Chain A
Amino acid sequence: MIALFLRDLRLAIRAGGGFGLGLGFFLIVAVLVPLGVGPEGRTLSLIAPGILWVAALLACLLSLDRIFALDHEDGSLDLLATAPIPLEGVVTMKALAHWVTTGLPLTLASPVLALLLNLPGSGYPWLVLSLALGTPALSVIGTFGAALTVGLKRGGLLLSLLVLPLYVPTLIFGAELVKRGAAGQAVATPLLLLAGITAGAAALLPFASAAALRVNLR
């Protein structure tokens, strides 16, 4: 299973692997929003948590259809399904590789971009924490959506429609956590709910994803 994880990382950083896709999108949104909204510092710091979280969510969405589609096209997915690794392990490793190539870079880059959006100083640790806690859920839920749509040609639109409603709780609690942290309020409730969503998704969804893959491979 480690071999699969390493192969996906290697594929992501090779030419055409799409490693920079999500990060580039995140960067573009965070740079363009201040230009569009204007230099009003108060407005920017008010919308910063929401903008950063929406941008991170859409950046994750951008690379979801690559998770299984490429492996399905070249036949690797059939071969992985007949390999000695359980399919649940395959989807877990795929989700992990997606998070390392998308969610982790977003989390690490977010403080720099938060500067552009004038996020209040007390919000920075909460921003990084909320993304570190929340983006794994985005990858796991997205892997489930990708498994559901794997056999479809140009399934990207359907994938987005399926996955976006499932992303909403993560978005709400993630942005709320940053907002409260920046304002110096109690953060326990959104923090625990965000962590709970991620833990629940990571524990349950690999089984659903594997079941969806089995049906789609028939």
Chain B
Amino acid sequence: MTPPAAALAATDLAVSRGGLPVLERLTFTLHPGRALILRGPNGSGKTTLLRTIAGLQPPLAGSITAPPETIAYASHADGLKATLTVAENLAFWAQIFGTGDIDAAVDGMNLRGLLDRQAQNLSAGQKRRLGLARLLVTGRPFWLLDEPTISLDVASVALFAQVVRGHLAAGGAALIATHIDLGLPEAEVLDLAPHRARAPADGGLMGAFDEAFL
């Protein structure tokens, strides 16, 4: 993987969900080789922030700068097809992202013994591992991870931390929304609580209420 020339940066970012502002005044920079952990209670806007950075929705205010085509997004859903095998699922995403090689991902997330199994016959934790292996086949430097450790056991969490560390060492970077301790002590933590959107009366941004009536 070629290390990205520039960092992923958010400047005075505000994001909204369903027309209501949830986060504002967010400024951070994610440099290659670093990990940033997003912390915040349920509903604090972690998923919305990640979807905005991934480009799935426009920001309410502020700007996001990142080199083009460098972001890989992993949502709650793994994007697996139940009737395809593990190998077919991975190979599909590898072809879509133009990398083609799934061996490193298979070994990285310990999926070697499951290659010919259909995704519908995997356990929840195995599906999650396959979903995370998808990140490895994208070959993209910036990983946006939304609760990546859901339904993983302790051994798999350690395996995942090792994969993330390998990714960072290779010049990648990761933005991780999580509630548990991933075993990545070197990662910085960004607490979202102080960035909660204020009411418009207190100087907060107006949401895009009119969007629903357009």
* A interface with B by C-beta (< 8 Å): 3-4, 7, 10-11, 14-17, 73-76, 78-85, 217-218
Give the complex CA separation of A76 and B76 in angstroms.
11
Contact call B83/A84, Cβ cutoff below 8 A:
no
B166 at the interface (CB under 8 A from A): no
Q: Would you give the shortest CB distance from B183 to chain A, in whole angstroms?
A: 26
Of the listed residues B51, B55, B58, B79, the one surrounded by the most CB atoms of chain A closer than 10 A to its CB is B79
Choose one: B79, B80, B82; the contact of A78 (CB below 8 Å).
Answer: B79
Contact call A75/B77, Cβ cutoff below 8 A:
yes
Q: Would you give the shortest CB distance from A25 to chain B, in whole angstroms?
A: 22
- Which 6 A/B pairs are nearest by Cβ-Cβ distance? A75-B77, A3-B95, A14-B83, A76-B79, A218-B57, A75-B79
Give the complex CA separation of A34 and B46 in angstroms.
60
Give the complex CA separation of A75 and B79 in angstroms.
4
* B interface with A by C-beta (< 8 Å): 51, 54-58, 69, 71-73, 75-84, 88, 92-93, 95-98, 134
When C-beta atoms are compared, the residue in chain B nearest to A7 turns out to be B92
Of the listed residues A14, A78, A85, the one surrounded by the most CB atoms of chain B closer than 10 A to its CB is A78
- Residues from chain A with a CB closer than 8 A to the CB of B80 are 74, 76
Contact call B56/A81, Cβ cutoff below 8 A:
yes
Q: Would you give the shortest CB distance from A17 to chain B, in whole angstroms?
A: 7
Give the complex CA separation of A47 and B195 in angstroms.
67
- Residues from chain A with a CB closer than 8 A to the CB of B96 are 3-4, 80, 83-85
Total A-B contacts with CB atoms under 8 angstroms apart: 67
Contacts A74-B80, A217-B57, A218-B57 given; does A82 touch B92 at CB 8 Å: no
- Residues from chain B with a CB closer than 8 A to the CB of A15 are 83
Contact call B57/A79, Cβ cutoff below 8 A:
no
Contact call B84/A10, Cβ cutoff below 8 A:
yes
Contact call A78/B69, Cβ cutoff below 8 A:
no
Give the complex CA separation of A3 and B96 in angstroms.
7
Give the complex CA separation of A218 and B134 in angstroms.
22
Contact call A78/B77, Cβ cutoff below 8 A:
yes
Give the complex CA separation of A82 and B146 in angstroms.
15
Q: Would you give the shortest CB distance from B139 to chain A, in whole angstroms?
A: 10
- Residues from chain B with a CB closer than 8 A to the CB of A218 are 56-58
Contacts A11-B83, A84-B98, A217-B57 given; does A79 touch B92 at CB 8 Å: no
When C-beta atoms are compared, the residue in chain A nearest to B80 turns out to be A74
Q: Would you give the shortest CB distance from A36 to chain B, in whole angstroms?
A: 37
Contact call B75/A75, Cβ cutoff below 8 A:
yes
